[in-house]
Homo-oligomer: A and B are copies of this chain.
Amino acid sequence: MARVNENFLKLPGSYLFSTVGKKVREYQEANPDKKVIRLGIGDVTLPLPPAVISALHTATDEMAAKESFRGYAPDLGYEFLRSAIVENDFRCRGVDISIDEVFISDGAKSDSANIQEIFAENSKIAVCDPVYPVYVDSNVMAGRTGTYHAESGRWSNVIYMPCTDENDFVPGFPEQVPDIIYLCFPNNPTGAALTKDQLQKWVDYANQKNAVIIFDAAYEAYISQEDVPHSIYECDGAKTCAIELRSFSKNAGFTGTRLAYTVIPKELVLDGISLNGLWIRRHGTKFNGAPYIIQRAGEAVYSEEGKKQILEMVGYYRKNAKVIYEGLKAAGYTISGGVNSPYIWLKTPGGMGSWEFFDYLLERANVVGTPGAGFGPSGEGYFRLTAFGSYENTVEAIERIRRMGN
């Protein structure tokens, strides 16, 4: 008799952004005349850069002719894309990554959810709190997280590293030693960044404890400060303890185009077993490559034109981040993030709960953000706004929030 994976049933409620979406839909239906501005979900709004569009057209034409048609892609991704990545994301920062340490995928969400599969079932994971929900939920599905306590909003077998204004949103080493440590910096949702010294300490800690760091660098394009590393491999010894996840979503606008990659150095070996080899096997069995035309689009991101165009695109969103940051600061809000990140993290005014402030903001200013509590218990009392809207909408949203009072 077939039975279901009971771990799935432990997952409480629905996915954060579904709940947000539902609330907004209901509000909009009840108030069709209101112009709601969405600064909630981390989805981009600018069109794909011209270099990428041109590469998509060219690759599409290749697929139209027998001589240039491409069937199944190589498991790990096309060499043209992996070479461009190695050269532009690593070598030019003095980091030596070889192309067979780079795995092309259909998105950083998939990678960050799937990566846990290569680790032992009883691995103990540590996450920042608040945190991107996928890290925890994918481990729940795999049966690693113990039981959920609705009151605390925490799982019995997960190590939480609170990130609040008390520690400037930088996690401290946990009391209990984890096996796998998820770190996302620049951080989603807090927008905090780690300096190279701070990240180096985590690398040293992981090497010392034989733990593995899953380093999610999806937001590296937003780094503006010199002492913030773009890759964890800028730290000494990271190759023996860290996996890095990268995305084309936030730098090149690929949220609806789907492309990402994961780096697993060959030096990353546990008990004599290469994680790179395990991921080759996982990729080869449960995945069949990203589309050829999308991989060509990814390659175009690294062309001279492409690089200029994505800098402009990131600059546009950065300007929005500045508008939000400075506008809310002037309005008396306590804020962080936004400097090396497209996310601005604010303390809800007057001790309001995160969801309470969500409703308040939606009703009073018709602005949608994301309740901090949705990212974990330590996010309660915080709220996330994103810089991915249009400039005009961003300016208007902040103006409305200022008018609303604090």
Binding site for B on A (CB under 8 A): 1-6, 8-9, 11, 15, 18, 41, 43-48, 50, 53, 56-57, 60-61, 63-66, 69-73, 106-107, 109-110, 113-114, 117-121, 123, 133-134, 137-138, 141, 143, 179-180, 209-212, 253, 255-258, 270-271, 273, 275, 278, 281-282, 284-294, 390
Contacts and interface: CB of A to CB of B under 8 A. Distances in A.
Nearest to A43: B71
A288 B109 contact: yes
Given A4-B119, A256-B291, A293-B56, A69 B48 contact: yes
Given A48-B63, A63-B257, A133-B285, 19 more contacts: A2-B120, A2-B123, A2-B179, A2-B210, A3-B119, A3-B120, A8-B278, A46-B66, A50-B64, A53-B63, A56-B63, A57-B57, A72-B255, A73-B256, A110-B287, A113-B287, A137-B285, A258-B290, A294-B294
Q: Which 6 A-B pairs have the closest CB atoms?
A: A113-B286, A43-B71, A3-B120, A1-B210, A109-B288, A70-B256
A343 to B, nearest CB: 16
A1 B63 contact: no
Contacts of A107: 287-288
Contact of A3 (B141, B270, B287, B290): B270
14 contacts: A1-B211, A3-B123, A3-B270, A5-B118, A8-B278, A15-B285, A56-B60, A56-B293, A106-B287, A106-B290, A109-B286, A113-B285, A134-B285, A137-B285
A47 B15 CA distance: 40
Contact of A256 (B117, B258, B289): B289
Nearest to A105: B106
A63 B60 CA distance: 14
* Integer count of this chain's copies in the complex: 2
A174 to B, nearest CB: 15
Looking at A50, A209, A211, A293, the one whose CB has the most chain B CB atoms below 10 A away is: A293
A212 B5 CA distance: 14
Contacts of A134: 285-286
Nearest to A56: B60
A201 to B, nearest CB: 18
B47 A2 contact: no
A56 B71 CA distance: 16
B2 A273 contact: no
B284 A15 contact: yes
A22 to B, nearest CB: 13
Contact of A109 (B41, B64, B287): B287
A110 B286 contact: yes
A48 B71 contact: no
B258 A289 contact: yes
Contact of A41 (B70, B72, B287, B390): B72
Contact of A273 (B4, B72, B73): B4
Contacts of A288: 106-107, 109-110, 258
Contacts of A137: 285
A9 B71 contact: no
Contacts of A211: 1-2
A286 B135 CA distance: 10
Nearest to A106: B106
A284 B19 CA distance: 13
Contacts of A69: 45-48, 253, 256
A1 B208 CA distance: 10
Contacts of A179: 1-3
A56 to B, nearest CB: 4
Contacts of A275: 4
Contacts of A120: 2-6
Nearest to A273: B4
Contacts of A41: 72
Looking at A45, A63, A256, the one whose CB has the most chain B CB atoms below 10 A away is: A256
